[in-house]
Structure 1
Protein backbone atom coordinates (compact mmCIF):
# COMPACT_ATOMS: atom_id res chain seq x y z
CA UNK A 1 0.00 0.00 0.00
CA UNK A 2 1.25 3.47 -0.90
CA UNK A 3 1.25 6.11 1.81
CA UNK A 4 -1.02 8.33 -0.28
CA UNK A 5 -3.70 5.60 -0.19
CA UNK A 6 -4.22 6.06 3.55
CA UNK A 7 -7.38 8.00 4.35
CA UNK A 8 -7.86 10.51 7.14
CA UNK A 9 -5.88 11.20 10.33
CA UNK A 10 -3.84 13.84 8.50
CA UNK A 11 -2.87 15.87 11.57
CA UNK A 12 -1.61 12.95 13.62
CA UNK A 13 0.21 11.42 10.63
CA UNK A 14 1.95 14.74 9.97
CA UNK A 15 2.97 14.82 13.61
CA UNK A 16 4.44 11.32 13.31
CA UNK A 17 6.29 12.30 10.12
CA UNK A 18 7.95 15.21 11.93
CA UNK A 19 8.97 13.03 14.86
CA UNK A 20 10.47 10.39 12.56
CA UNK A 21 12.22 13.00 10.40
CA UNK A 22 13.80 14.62 13.45
CA UNK A 23 14.66 11.22 15.01
CA UNK A 24 12.49 12.02 18.03
CA UNK A 25 9.87 9.29 17.66
CA UNK A 26 9.03 7.87 21.13
CA UNK A 27 10.36 4.43 22.00
CA UNK A 28 6.83 3.32 22.92
CA UNK A 29 3.41 4.66 21.93
CA UNK A 30 -0.21 3.67 22.34
CA UNK A 31 -2.52 4.11 19.35
CA UNK A 32 -6.09 4.11 20.60
CA UNK A 33 -9.26 3.98 18.54
CA UNK A 34 -12.28 1.90 17.60
CA UNK A 35 -11.98 -1.25 15.53
CA UNK A 36 -11.73 -0.36 11.84
CA UNK A 37 -10.58 3.22 12.49
CA UNK A 38 -7.15 2.59 10.94
CA UNK A 39 -4.84 1.78 13.87
CA UNK A 40 -3.10 -1.10 12.10
CA UNK A 41 -2.59 0.88 8.90
CA UNK A 42 -1.15 3.89 10.76
CA UNK A 43 1.14 1.59 12.79
CA UNK A 44 2.46 -0.02 9.59
CA UNK A 45 2.95 3.40 8.02
CA UNK A 46 4.99 4.50 11.04
CA UNK A 47 7.03 1.30 10.89
CA UNK A 48 7.68 1.61 7.16
CA UNK A 49 8.92 5.18 7.54
CA UNK A 50 11.14 4.38 10.52
CA UNK A 51 12.62 1.56 8.43
CA UNK A 52 13.11 4.06 5.59
CA UNK A 53 10.78 2.20 3.21
CA UNK A 54 8.61 3.75 0.52
CA UNK A 55 5.42 1.71 0.98
CA UNK A 56 3.51 -0.43 3.45
CA UNK A 57 4.11 -4.15 3.19
CA UNK A 58 5.74 -6.95 5.18
CA UNK A 59 9.31 -6.30 6.34
CA UNK A 60 11.69 -8.48 8.32
CA UNK A 61 12.04 -5.82 11.01
CA UNK A 62 8.31 -5.17 11.37
CA UNK A 63 6.96 -7.75 13.80
CA UNK A 64 3.26 -7.90 14.65
CA UNK A 65 1.73 -9.78 17.58
CA UNK A 66 -1.96 -10.65 17.86
CA UNK A 67 -4.16 -12.72 20.15
CA UNK A 68 -3.79 -16.39 19.27
CA UNK A 69 -6.81 -17.81 17.47
CA UNK A 70 -7.88 -20.08 20.32
CA UNK A 71 -7.38 -17.46 23.05
CA UNK A 72 -9.36 -14.51 24.40
CA UNK A 73 -6.37 -12.56 25.71
CA UNK A 74 -2.62 -12.09 25.37
CA UNK A 75 -1.13 -14.23 28.13
CA UNK A 76 2.10 -13.94 30.11
CA UNK A 77 3.59 -16.76 28.01
CA UNK A 78 2.90 -14.83 24.81
CA UNK A 79 4.34 -11.66 26.38
CA UNK A 80 7.55 -13.54 27.17
CA UNK A 81 7.84 -14.44 23.47
CA UNK A 82 7.24 -10.78 22.54
CA UNK A 83 10.02 -9.74 24.93
CA UNK A 84 12.35 -12.32 23.37
CA UNK A 85 11.63 -10.83 19.95
CA UNK A 86 12.18 -7.29 21.24
CA UNK A 87 15.67 -8.27 22.41
CA UNK A 88 16.73 -9.84 19.12
CA UNK A 89 18.84 -7.65 16.86
CA UNK A 90 17.26 -6.16 13.72
CA UNK A 91 17.62 -8.32 10.62
CA UNK A 92 18.24 -5.68 7.94
CA UNK A 93 19.18 -2.35 9.49
CA UNK A 94 19.50 -0.60 12.81
CA UNK A 95 15.79 -0.30 13.65
CA UNK A 96 13.02 -2.70 14.53
CA UNK A 97 9.32 -2.13 15.18
CA UNK A 98 7.14 -4.31 17.39
CA UNK A 99 3.38 -3.83 16.93
CA UNK A 100 1.15 -5.39 19.59
CA UNK A 101 -2.52 -5.60 18.63
CA UNK A 102 -5.32 -5.62 21.22
CA UNK A 103 -3.17 -4.36 24.07
CA UNK A 104 -6.36 -3.88 26.08
CA UNK A 105 -6.84 -7.66 25.89
CA UNK A 106 -3.48 -8.41 27.48
CA UNK A 107 -3.82 -9.90 30.95
CA UNK A 108 -2.79 -7.81 33.94
CA UNK A 109 0.02 -10.27 34.61
CA UNK A 110 1.14 -9.92 31.01
CA UNK A 111 1.10 -6.12 31.18
CA UNK A 112 3.15 -6.18 34.37
CA UNK A 113 5.65 -8.56 32.76
CA UNK A 114 5.92 -6.20 29.77
CA UNK A 115 6.51 -3.03 31.82
CA UNK A 116 10.30 -3.00 31.93
CA UNK A 117 10.60 -3.76 28.22
CA UNK A 118 8.19 -0.93 27.36
CA UNK A 119 10.13 1.46 29.56
CA UNK A 120 13.59 0.55 28.27
CA UNK A 121 13.56 -1.31 24.95
CA UNK A 122 16.91 -1.85 23.21
CA UNK A 123 18.26 1.03 21.14
CA UNK A 124 16.56 1.17 17.75
CA UNK A 125 13.51 -0.82 18.87
CA UNK A 126 10.14 0.92 18.78
CA UNK A 127 7.04 -0.55 20.40
CA UNK A 128 3.56 0.37 19.11
CA UNK A 129 0.63 -0.78 21.23
CA UNK A 130 -2.82 -0.82 19.67
CA UNK A 131 -5.98 -0.73 21.75
CA UNK A 132 -9.67 -0.01 21.38
CA UNK A 133 -9.98 1.44 24.88
CA UNK A 134 -7.43 2.73 27.36
CA UNK A 135 -9.59 1.68 30.30
CA UNK A 136 -8.13 -1.84 30.40
CA UNK A 137 -4.55 -0.73 29.99
CA UNK A 138 -2.69 -0.34 33.28
CA UNK A 139 -1.77 3.18 34.33
CA UNK A 140 1.81 1.98 34.77
CA UNK A 141 1.87 0.98 31.09
CA UNK A 142 0.26 4.23 29.92
CA UNK A 143 2.71 6.31 31.93
CA UNK A 144 5.59 4.77 29.97
CA UNK A 145 4.08 5.54 26.55
CA UNK A 146 3.04 8.49 24.45
CA UNK A 147 -0.70 8.10 23.83
CA UNK A 148 -2.41 9.05 20.57
CA UNK A 149 -6.14 8.74 19.89
CA UNK A 150 -7.46 8.24 16.36
CA UNK A 151 -10.78 9.98 15.74
CA UNK A 152 -13.51 9.05 13.30
CA UNK A 153 -13.20 10.29 9.73
CA UNK A 154 -15.43 13.12 8.57
CA UNK A 155 -17.95 12.70 5.75
CA UNK A 156 -15.64 14.00 3.04
CA UNK A 157 -12.90 11.57 4.07
CA UNK A 158 -15.28 8.60 4.12
CA UNK A 159 -16.69 9.63 0.73
CA UNK A 160 -13.16 9.75 -0.67
CA UNK A 161 -12.46 6.32 0.81
CA UNK A 162 -15.61 4.86 -0.78
CA UNK A 163 -14.89 6.49 -4.13
CA UNK A 164 -11.24 5.46 -4.44
CA UNK A 165 -11.48 1.96 -2.94
CA UNK A 166 -14.87 0.87 -4.29
CA UNK A 167 -15.68 3.33 -7.10
CA UNK A 168 -19.30 3.58 -5.96
CA UNK A 169 -21.19 6.48 -7.54
CA UNK A 170 -24.83 5.78 -6.61
CA UNK A 171 -25.70 8.46 -4.04
CA UNK A 172 -28.29 6.33 -2.20
CA UNK A 173 -25.72 3.54 -1.77
CA UNK A 174 -23.06 6.03 -0.69
CA UNK A 175 -25.39 7.54 1.91
CA UNK A 176 -26.20 4.09 3.27
CA UNK A 177 -22.49 3.39 3.61
CA UNK A 178 -21.92 6.76 5.28
CA UNK A 179 -24.62 6.01 7.82
CA UNK A 180 -23.42 2.50 8.64
CA UNK A 181 -19.75 3.48 8.73
CA UNK A 182 -20.30 6.24 11.30
CA UNK A 183 -16.88 7.63 10.36
CA UNK A 184 -15.08 4.27 10.55
CA UNK A 185 -13.70 3.06 7.18
CA UNK A 186 -13.43 -0.54 8.37
CA UNK A 187 -17.22 -0.63 8.74
CA UNK A 188 -17.57 0.22 5.04
CA UNK A 189 -15.40 -2.80 4.24
CA UNK A 190 -17.49 -5.00 6.54
CA UNK A 191 -20.79 -3.77 5.12
CA UNK A 192 -19.71 -4.49 1.55
CA UNK A 193 -17.67 -7.66 2.05
CA UNK A 194 -18.83 -9.49 5.18
CA UNK A 195 -21.25 -12.24 4.14
CA UNK A 196 -22.34 -12.79 7.74
CA UNK A 197 -23.42 -9.17 8.14
CA UNK A 198 -25.38 -9.31 4.88
CA UNK A 199 -27.11 -12.47 6.06
CA UNK A 200 -27.87 -10.91 9.46
CA UNK A 201 -29.44 -7.84 7.84
CA UNK A 202 -31.74 -10.08 5.80
CA UNK A 203 -32.69 -12.20 8.83
CA UNK A 204 -33.49 -9.09 10.87
CA UNK A 205 -35.64 -7.33 8.29
CA UNK A 206 -37.51 -10.57 7.48
CA UNK A 207 -38.12 -11.15 11.18
CA UNK A 208 -39.58 -7.66 11.60
CA UNK A 209 -41.71 -7.91 8.45
CA UNK A 210 -43.13 -11.34 9.37
CA UNK A 211 -43.11 -11.17 13.17
CA UNK A 212 -46.92 -11.17 13.46
CA UNK A 213 -47.17 -14.42 11.51
CA UNK A 214 -44.38 -16.35 13.23
CA UNK A 215 -45.50 -19.21 15.44
CA UNK A 216 -43.44 -20.12 18.54
CA UNK A 217 -41.46 -22.75 16.64
CA UNK A 218 -40.47 -20.24 13.95
CA UNK A 219 -39.48 -17.66 16.57
CA UNK A 220 -37.22 -20.21 18.26
CA UNK A 221 -35.71 -21.11 14.88
CA UNK A 222 -35.04 -17.42 14.18
CA UNK A 223 -33.49 -16.95 17.63
CA UNK A 224 -31.24 -19.96 17.13
CA UNK A 225 -30.18 -18.67 13.73
CA UNK A 226 -29.22 -15.31 15.20
CA UNK A 227 -27.35 -17.08 18.00
CA UNK A 228 -25.05 -18.70 15.45
CA UNK A 229 -23.43 -15.29 15.04
CA UNK A 230 -22.20 -15.17 18.63
CA UNK A 231 -19.67 -12.38 18.22
CA UNK A 232 -22.03 -10.17 16.21
CA UNK A 233 -24.80 -9.70 18.79
CA UNK A 234 -24.15 -5.95 18.93
CA UNK A 235 -24.54 -5.67 15.15
CA UNK A 236 -27.74 -7.75 15.29
CA UNK A 237 -29.32 -5.42 17.85
CA UNK A 238 -28.10 -2.40 15.92
CA UNK A 239 -29.73 -3.64 12.70
CA UNK A 240 -33.05 -4.11 14.52
CA UNK A 241 -32.83 -0.56 15.91
CA UNK A 242 -31.84 0.99 12.58
CA UNK A 243 -34.70 -0.65 10.65
CA UNK A 244 -37.24 0.35 13.28
CA UNK A 245 -35.76 3.84 13.46
CA UNK A 246 -36.11 4.21 9.68
CA UNK A 247 -39.72 3.01 9.83
CA UNK A 248 -40.47 5.58 12.55
CA UNK A 249 -38.91 8.41 10.55
CA UNK A 250 -40.59 7.42 7.30
CA UNK A 251 -43.95 7.03 9.03
CA UNK A 252 -43.64 10.48 10.56
CA UNK A 253 -42.11 12.40 7.65
CA UNK A 254 -42.49 10.32 4.49
CA UNK A 255 -39.00 11.56 3.55
CA UNK A 256 -36.72 8.78 2.35
CA UNK A 257 -33.74 11.15 2.30
CA UNK A 258 -33.61 10.90 6.10
CA UNK A 259 -33.30 7.11 6.12
CA UNK A 260 -30.22 4.97 6.73
CA UNK A 261 -31.33 1.73 5.04
CA UNK A 262 -31.90 3.33 1.66
CA UNK A 263 -31.04 0.08 -0.11
CA UNK A 264 -33.97 -1.51 1.75
CA UNK A 265 -36.44 1.32 1.23
CA UNK A 266 -39.31 -0.94 0.09
CA UNK A 267 -38.97 -3.07 3.25
CA UNK A 268 -38.82 0.05 5.42
CA UNK A 269 -42.06 1.31 3.84
CA UNK A 270 -43.75 -2.04 4.55
CA UNK A 271 -42.71 -1.94 8.21
CA UNK A 272 -43.93 1.65 8.49
CA UNK A 273 -47.30 0.67 7.06
CA UNK A 274 -47.71 -2.42 9.27
CA UNK A 275 -47.06 -0.83 12.66
CA UNK A 276 -48.15 2.27 14.51
CA UNK A 277 -45.75 4.77 16.05
CA UNK A 278 -46.56 3.36 19.48
CA UNK A 279 -45.84 -0.19 18.33
CA UNK A 280 -42.55 0.80 16.72
CA UNK A 281 -41.43 2.56 19.90
CA UNK A 282 -42.36 -0.56 21.89
CA UNK A 283 -40.18 -2.58 19.50
CA UNK A 284 -37.24 -0.31 20.26
CA UNK A 285 -37.80 -0.91 23.98
CA UNK A 286 -37.83 -4.69 23.38
CA UNK A 287 -34.54 -4.57 21.48
CA UNK A 288 -32.92 -2.34 24.10
CA UNK A 289 -34.00 -4.81 26.78
CA UNK A 290 -32.52 -7.68 24.76
CA UNK A 291 -29.27 -5.81 24.22
CA UNK A 292 -28.97 -5.10 27.94
CA UNK A 293 -29.31 -8.84 28.69
CA UNK A 294 -26.75 -9.74 26.01
CA UNK A 295 -24.30 -7.25 27.49
CA UNK A 296 -24.63 -8.99 30.85
CA UNK A 297 -24.08 -12.43 29.26
CA UNK A 298 -27.60 -13.73 29.72
CA UNK A 299 -28.26 -16.91 27.69
CA UNK A 300 -28.11 -15.76 24.06
CA UNK A 301 -30.79 -17.95 22.38
CA UNK A 302 -33.16 -17.37 25.29
CA UNK A 303 -32.58 -13.61 25.08
CA UNK A 304 -33.37 -13.54 21.36
CA UNK A 305 -36.50 -15.66 21.90
CA UNK A 306 -37.73 -13.30 24.61
CA UNK A 307 -36.90 -10.24 22.51
CA UNK A 308 -38.74 -11.58 19.46
CA UNK A 309 -41.81 -12.47 21.54
CA UNK A 310 -41.82 -8.95 23.02
CA UNK A 311 -41.66 -7.49 19.50
CA UNK A 312 -44.50 -9.78 18.40
CA UNK A 313 -46.67 -8.72 21.33
CA UNK A 314 -46.45 -4.95 20.73
Structure 2
Protein backbone atom coordinates (compact mmCIF):
# COMPACT_ATOMS: atom_id res chain seq x y z
CA UNK A 1 0.00 0.00 0.00
CA UNK A 2 1.28 3.45 -0.94
CA UNK A 3 1.29 6.11 1.78
CA UNK A 4 -1.05 8.30 -0.27
CA UNK A 5 -3.68 5.54 -0.13
CA UNK A 6 -4.08 5.93 3.62
CA UNK A 7 -7.19 7.89 4.59
CA UNK A 8 -7.65 10.09 7.64
CA UNK A 9 -5.57 10.86 10.75
CA UNK A 10 -3.66 13.46 8.75
CA UNK A 11 -2.68 15.69 11.69
CA UNK A 12 -1.13 12.93 13.80
CA UNK A 13 0.50 11.31 10.75
CA UNK A 14 2.09 14.64 9.85
CA UNK A 15 3.38 14.84 13.41
CA UNK A 16 4.95 11.40 13.05
CA UNK A 17 6.52 12.43 9.74
CA UNK A 18 8.25 15.36 11.43
CA UNK A 19 9.53 13.16 14.25
CA UNK A 20 10.95 10.61 11.79
CA UNK A 21 12.43 13.32 9.56
CA UNK A 22 14.15 15.01 12.50
CA UNK A 23 15.28 11.68 13.99
CA UNK A 24 13.35 12.38 17.17
CA UNK A 25 10.85 9.53 17.04
CA UNK A 26 10.22 8.14 20.58
CA UNK A 27 11.53 4.69 21.42
CA UNK A 28 8.03 3.65 22.52
CA UNK A 29 4.59 5.00 21.63
CA UNK A 30 1.03 3.85 22.24
CA UNK A 31 -1.64 4.28 19.56
CA UNK A 32 -5.15 4.21 21.02
CA UNK A 33 -8.45 4.00 19.20
CA UNK A 34 -11.48 1.85 18.52
CA UNK A 35 -11.21 -1.42 16.66
CA UNK A 36 -11.14 -0.70 12.91
CA UNK A 37 -10.08 2.93 13.31
CA UNK A 38 -6.76 2.35 11.47
CA UNK A 39 -4.20 1.85 14.25
CA UNK A 40 -2.32 -0.96 12.51
CA UNK A 41 -2.16 0.91 9.19
CA UNK A 42 -0.74 4.02 10.87
CA UNK A 43 1.73 1.85 12.82
CA UNK A 44 2.91 0.18 9.59
CA UNK A 45 3.30 3.56 7.91
CA UNK A 46 5.50 4.72 10.79
CA UNK A 47 7.49 1.50 10.58
CA UNK A 48 8.02 1.80 6.83
CA UNK A 49 9.30 5.35 7.17
CA UNK A 50 11.62 4.49 10.06
CA UNK A 51 12.96 1.65 7.90
CA UNK A 52 13.43 4.12 5.04
CA UNK A 53 10.89 2.34 2.83
CA UNK A 54 8.41 3.88 0.42
CA UNK A 55 5.32 1.71 0.93
CA UNK A 56 3.52 -0.46 3.44
CA UNK A 57 4.22 -4.17 3.13
CA UNK A 58 5.99 -6.95 5.03
CA UNK A 59 9.60 -6.23 6.01
CA UNK A 60 12.12 -8.37 7.84
CA UNK A 61 12.59 -5.66 10.48
CA UNK A 62 8.89 -5.07 11.06
CA UNK A 63 7.72 -7.64 13.61
CA UNK A 64 4.08 -7.84 14.68
CA UNK A 65 2.76 -9.62 17.77
CA UNK A 66 -0.89 -10.53 18.25
CA UNK A 67 -2.95 -12.60 20.65
CA UNK A 68 -2.55 -16.27 19.76
CA UNK A 69 -5.61 -17.80 18.08
CA UNK A 70 -6.51 -20.07 21.00
CA UNK A 71 -5.95 -17.40 23.68
CA UNK A 72 -7.86 -14.43 25.06
CA UNK A 73 -4.84 -12.41 26.16
CA UNK A 74 -1.10 -11.94 25.66
CA UNK A 75 0.53 -14.07 28.34
CA UNK A 76 3.78 -13.47 30.17
CA UNK A 77 5.30 -16.40 28.20
CA UNK A 78 4.46 -14.64 24.93
CA UNK A 79 5.92 -11.40 26.32
CA UNK A 80 9.21 -13.19 27.00
CA UNK A 81 9.31 -14.17 23.31
CA UNK A 82 8.62 -10.54 22.34
CA UNK A 83 11.50 -9.42 24.54
CA UNK A 84 13.78 -11.99 22.88
CA UNK A 85 12.82 -10.56 19.50
CA UNK A 86 13.41 -6.99 20.69
CA UNK A 87 16.97 -7.89 21.65
CA UNK A 88 17.85 -9.44 18.29
CA UNK A 89 19.77 -7.22 15.90
CA UNK A 90 18.00 -5.80 12.82
CA UNK A 91 18.24 -7.98 9.72
CA UNK A 92 18.67 -5.34 7.02
CA UNK A 93 19.50 -1.90 8.36
CA UNK A 94 19.97 -0.10 11.67
CA UNK A 95 16.34 0.08 12.77
CA UNK A 96 13.76 -2.45 13.85
CA UNK A 97 10.06 -2.06 14.65
CA UNK A 98 8.08 -4.12 17.14
CA UNK A 99 4.30 -3.65 16.85
CA UNK A 100 2.25 -5.18 19.67
CA UNK A 101 -1.48 -5.45 18.94
CA UNK A 102 -4.11 -5.52 21.71
CA UNK A 103 -1.80 -4.20 24.41
CA UNK A 104 -4.88 -3.72 26.59
CA UNK A 105 -5.32 -7.51 26.52
CA UNK A 106 -1.84 -8.26 27.83
CA UNK A 107 -1.94 -9.82 31.30
CA UNK A 108 -0.79 -7.78 34.30
CA UNK A 109 2.17 -10.14 34.71
CA UNK A 110 3.01 -9.70 31.04
CA UNK A 111 2.85 -5.90 31.27
CA UNK A 112 5.11 -5.90 34.32
CA UNK A 113 7.58 -8.20 32.55
CA UNK A 114 7.58 -5.86 29.53
CA UNK A 115 8.21 -2.66 31.50
CA UNK A 116 12.01 -2.51 31.38
CA UNK A 117 12.09 -3.35 27.67
CA UNK A 118 9.59 -0.58 26.88
CA UNK A 119 11.63 1.87 28.93
CA UNK A 120 15.03 0.96 27.48
CA UNK A 121 14.88 -0.96 24.20
CA UNK A 122 18.17 -1.47 22.33
CA UNK A 123 19.39 1.38 20.12
CA UNK A 124 17.45 1.49 16.86
CA UNK A 125 14.53 -0.59 18.16
CA UNK A 126 11.16 1.15 18.27
CA UNK A 127 8.12 -0.29 20.05
CA UNK A 128 4.57 0.60 18.98
CA UNK A 129 1.77 -0.56 21.27
CA UNK A 130 -1.79 -0.67 19.94
CA UNK A 131 -4.82 -0.62 22.21
CA UNK A 132 -8.51 0.21 22.29
CA UNK A 133 -8.69 1.23 25.95
CA UNK A 134 -5.90 2.92 27.90
CA UNK A 135 -7.76 2.06 31.07
CA UNK A 136 -6.69 -1.58 30.83
CA UNK A 137 -3.02 -0.67 30.48
CA UNK A 138 -0.93 -0.20 33.62
CA UNK A 139 0.00 3.37 34.55
CA UNK A 140 3.63 2.27 34.71
CA UNK A 141 3.44 1.16 31.05
CA UNK A 142 1.66 4.32 29.89
CA UNK A 143 4.17 6.54 31.65
CA UNK A 144 6.96 5.00 29.59
CA UNK A 145 5.26 5.74 26.25
CA UNK A 146 4.14 8.76 24.32
CA UNK A 147 0.42 8.26 23.80
CA UNK A 148 -1.52 9.22 20.68
CA UNK A 149 -5.26 8.81 20.18
CA UNK A 150 -6.76 8.15 16.76
CA UNK A 151 -10.22 9.65 16.37
CA UNK A 152 -13.08 8.66 14.10
CA UNK A 153 -12.90 10.00 10.55
CA UNK A 154 -15.24 12.81 9.57
CA UNK A 155 -17.78 12.42 6.77
CA UNK A 156 -15.50 13.91 4.11
CA UNK A 157 -12.67 11.53 5.02
CA UNK A 158 -15.04 8.55 5.13
CA UNK A 159 -16.46 9.40 1.71
CA UNK A 160 -12.94 9.49 0.27
CA UNK A 161 -12.12 6.18 1.94
CA UNK A 162 -15.29 4.40 0.80
CA UNK A 163 -15.15 5.66 -2.79
CA UNK A 164 -11.40 5.09 -3.07
CA UNK A 165 -11.34 1.65 -1.46
CA UNK A 166 -14.64 0.14 -2.57
CA UNK A 167 -15.44 2.25 -5.66
CA UNK A 168 -18.89 3.12 -4.27
CA UNK A 169 -20.55 5.82 -6.36
CA UNK A 170 -24.25 5.25 -5.58
CA UNK A 171 -25.31 7.89 -3.05
CA UNK A 172 -27.88 5.64 -1.32
CA UNK A 173 -25.25 2.96 -0.75
CA UNK A 174 -22.74 5.61 0.33
CA UNK A 175 -25.13 6.99 2.95
CA UNK A 176 -25.86 3.53 4.31
CA UNK A 177 -22.14 2.77 4.66
CA UNK A 178 -21.49 6.15 6.28
CA UNK A 179 -24.22 5.51 8.84
CA UNK A 180 -23.12 2.00 9.77
CA UNK A 181 -19.40 2.73 9.82
CA UNK A 182 -19.89 5.78 12.07
CA UNK A 183 -16.44 7.12 11.20
CA UNK A 184 -14.63 3.79 11.60
CA UNK A 185 -13.15 2.53 8.29
CA UNK A 186 -12.94 -1.10 9.40
CA UNK A 187 -16.70 -1.27 9.87
CA UNK A 188 -17.24 -0.66 6.15
CA UNK A 189 -15.51 -3.91 5.25
CA UNK A 190 -17.40 -5.73 8.01
CA UNK A 191 -20.72 -4.41 6.73
CA UNK A 192 -19.98 -5.39 3.14
CA UNK A 193 -18.37 -8.75 3.75
CA UNK A 194 -19.26 -10.11 7.20
CA UNK A 195 -21.98 -12.75 6.81
CA UNK A 196 -22.81 -12.57 10.52
CA UNK A 197 -23.70 -8.89 10.33
CA UNK A 198 -26.03 -9.49 7.42
CA UNK A 199 -27.72 -12.28 9.37
CA UNK A 200 -28.08 -10.04 12.41
CA UNK A 201 -29.59 -7.19 10.39
CA UNK A 202 -32.25 -9.54 9.03
CA UNK A 203 -32.94 -11.04 12.46
CA UNK A 204 -33.37 -7.62 14.03
CA UNK A 205 -35.72 -6.24 11.36
CA UNK A 206 -37.81 -9.42 11.52
CA UNK A 207 -37.98 -9.22 15.31
CA UNK A 208 -39.29 -5.64 15.17
CA UNK A 209 -41.76 -6.40 12.38
CA UNK A 210 -43.21 -9.44 14.17
CA UNK A 211 -42.77 -8.44 17.82
CA UNK A 212 -46.52 -8.23 18.49
CA UNK A 213 -47.06 -11.78 17.19
CA UNK A 214 -44.34 -13.45 19.26
CA UNK A 215 -45.35 -15.64 22.19
CA UNK A 216 -43.04 -16.02 25.22
CA UNK A 217 -41.32 -19.08 23.75
CA UNK A 218 -40.69 -17.20 20.47
CA UNK A 219 -39.11 -14.34 22.40
CA UNK A 220 -36.84 -16.69 24.34
CA UNK A 221 -35.84 -18.39 21.07
CA UNK A 222 -35.12 -15.01 19.43
CA UNK A 223 -33.06 -13.93 22.46
CA UNK A 224 -31.02 -17.14 22.30
CA UNK A 225 -30.39 -16.63 18.58
CA UNK A 226 -29.11 -13.10 19.20
CA UNK A 227 -26.96 -14.38 22.07
CA UNK A 228 -25.08 -16.67 19.69
CA UNK A 229 -23.36 -13.54 18.35
CA UNK A 230 -21.65 -12.86 21.66
CA UNK A 231 -19.08 -10.36 20.41
CA UNK A 232 -21.56 -8.41 18.28
CA UNK A 233 -23.96 -7.18 20.95
CA UNK A 234 -23.11 -3.53 20.23
CA UNK A 235 -23.95 -4.03 16.57
CA UNK A 236 -27.21 -5.78 17.50
CA UNK A 237 -28.33 -2.87 19.70
CA UNK A 238 -27.21 -0.40 17.06
CA UNK A 239 -29.28 -2.13 14.37
CA UNK A 240 -32.38 -2.03 16.58
CA UNK A 241 -31.90 1.70 17.17
CA UNK A 242 -31.18 2.52 13.52
CA UNK A 243 -34.26 0.68 12.25
CA UNK A 244 -36.49 2.34 14.85
CA UNK A 245 -34.88 5.71 14.13
CA UNK A 246 -35.68 5.29 10.43
CA UNK A 247 -39.28 4.41 11.25
CA UNK A 248 -39.56 7.56 13.39
CA UNK A 249 -38.10 9.73 10.63
CA UNK A 250 -40.32 8.23 7.94
CA UNK A 251 -43.43 8.45 10.11
CA UNK A 252 -42.80 12.14 10.77
CA UNK A 253 -41.58 13.25 7.33
CA UNK A 254 -42.56 10.58 4.80
CA UNK A 255 -39.21 11.33 3.15
CA UNK A 256 -37.22 8.20 2.32
CA UNK A 257 -34.20 10.33 1.38
CA UNK A 258 -33.58 10.89 5.10
CA UNK A 259 -33.37 7.18 5.93
CA UNK A 260 -30.25 5.17 6.71
CA UNK A 261 -31.50 1.67 5.89
CA UNK A 262 -32.57 2.47 2.35
CA UNK A 263 -32.25 -1.17 1.33
CA UNK A 264 -34.99 -1.98 3.87
CA UNK A 265 -37.38 0.81 2.89
CA UNK A 266 -40.48 -1.41 2.60
CA UNK A 267 -39.87 -2.89 6.05
CA UNK A 268 -39.31 0.60 7.49
CA UNK A 269 -42.67 1.70 6.07
CA UNK A 270 -44.39 -1.28 7.73
CA UNK A 271 -42.81 -0.50 11.11
CA UNK A 272 -43.79 3.16 10.79
CA UNK A 273 -47.41 2.15 10.07
CA UNK A 274 -47.58 -0.38 12.93
CA UNK A 275 -46.40 1.85 15.76
CA UNK A 276 -47.06 5.37 17.02
CA UNK A 277 -44.32 7.94 17.63
CA UNK A 278 -44.70 7.34 21.36
CA UNK A 279 -44.34 3.58 20.94
CA UNK A 280 -41.26 3.93 18.74
CA UNK A 281 -39.59 6.23 21.26
CA UNK A 282 -40.33 3.74 24.04
CA UNK A 283 -38.74 1.02 21.89
CA UNK A 284 -35.54 3.06 21.74
CA UNK A 285 -35.64 3.40 25.54
CA UNK A 286 -35.99 -0.40 25.84
CA UNK A 287 -32.97 -0.97 23.59
CA UNK A 288 -30.90 1.61 25.48
CA UNK A 289 -31.82 -0.13 28.73
CA UNK A 290 -30.75 -3.48 27.28
CA UNK A 291 -27.48 -2.05 25.99
CA UNK A 292 -26.73 -0.55 29.40
CA UNK A 293 -27.14 -4.00 30.99
CA UNK A 294 -24.98 -5.66 28.35
CA UNK A 295 -22.22 -3.13 29.00
CA UNK A 296 -22.16 -4.20 32.65
CA UNK A 297 -22.01 -7.91 31.69
CA UNK A 298 -25.52 -8.81 32.80
CA UNK A 299 -26.58 -12.26 31.54
CA UNK A 300 -26.85 -11.83 27.76
CA UNK A 301 -29.83 -14.12 26.89
CA UNK A 302 -31.78 -12.79 29.88
CA UNK A 303 -31.05 -9.21 28.83
CA UNK A 304 -32.30 -9.83 25.29
CA UNK A 305 -35.45 -11.55 26.64
CA UNK A 306 -36.19 -8.57 28.87
CA UNK A 307 -35.46 -6.09 26.07
CA UNK A 308 -37.74 -7.88 23.60
CA UNK A 309 -40.56 -8.09 26.15
CA UNK A 310 -40.22 -4.35 26.81
CA UNK A 311 -40.39 -3.67 23.08
CA UNK A 312 -43.46 -5.91 22.79
CA UNK A 313 -45.22 -4.11 25.64
CA UNK A 314 -44.85 -0.57 24.32
Structure 1 segment 97-112 matched on structure 2, within 5 A: 97-112=97-112
**Correspondence 1:230 to 2:239:** no
Aligned equivalents of 1:134, 1:310: Cα separation in 2: 35
Match of 2:260 in 1: 260
**SS of aligned partner of 2:31:** strand
Measured on the aligned residues, the alpha-carbon RMSD in Å equals 1.3
Structure 1 segment 1-314 matched on structure 2, within 5 A: 1-314=1-314
**SS of aligned partner of 1:235:** helix
Aligned equivalents of 2:185, 2:78: Cα separation in 1: 30
Query: How much does 1:148 deviate?
Result: 1.1
Aligned equivalents of 1:86, 1:305: Cα separation in 2: 49
Aligned equivalents of 1:24, 1:223: Cα separation in 2: 54
Query: How much does 1:70 deviate?
Result: 2.2
For 1:94-133, what per-residue CA distance to the aligned partner results, in whole angstroms no more than 9, with x for missing partners?
1110001111111222211111101100011000001112
**SS of aligned partner of 1:260:** coil
Q: Which runs of 5+ in 1 are unaligned?
A: none
For 1:11-51, what per-residue CA distance to the aligned partner results, in whole angstroms no more than 9, with x for missing partners?
21122112112211111001111111110000011111111
Aligned equivalents of 1:310, 1:104: Cα separation in 2: 35
The number of aligned residues is 314
Query: How much does 1:291 deviate?
Result: 1.6
Q: Which runs of 4+ in 1 moved over 4 A?
A: none
TM-score by length of 1: 0.96
Query: How much does 1:254 deviate?
Result: 2.0
Aligned equivalents of 1:103, 1:35: Cα separation in 2: 13
**SS of aligned partner of 1:147:** strand
Aligned equivalents of 1:295, 1:148: Cα separation in 2: 25
Aligned equivalents of 2:209, 2:85: Cα separation in 1: 55
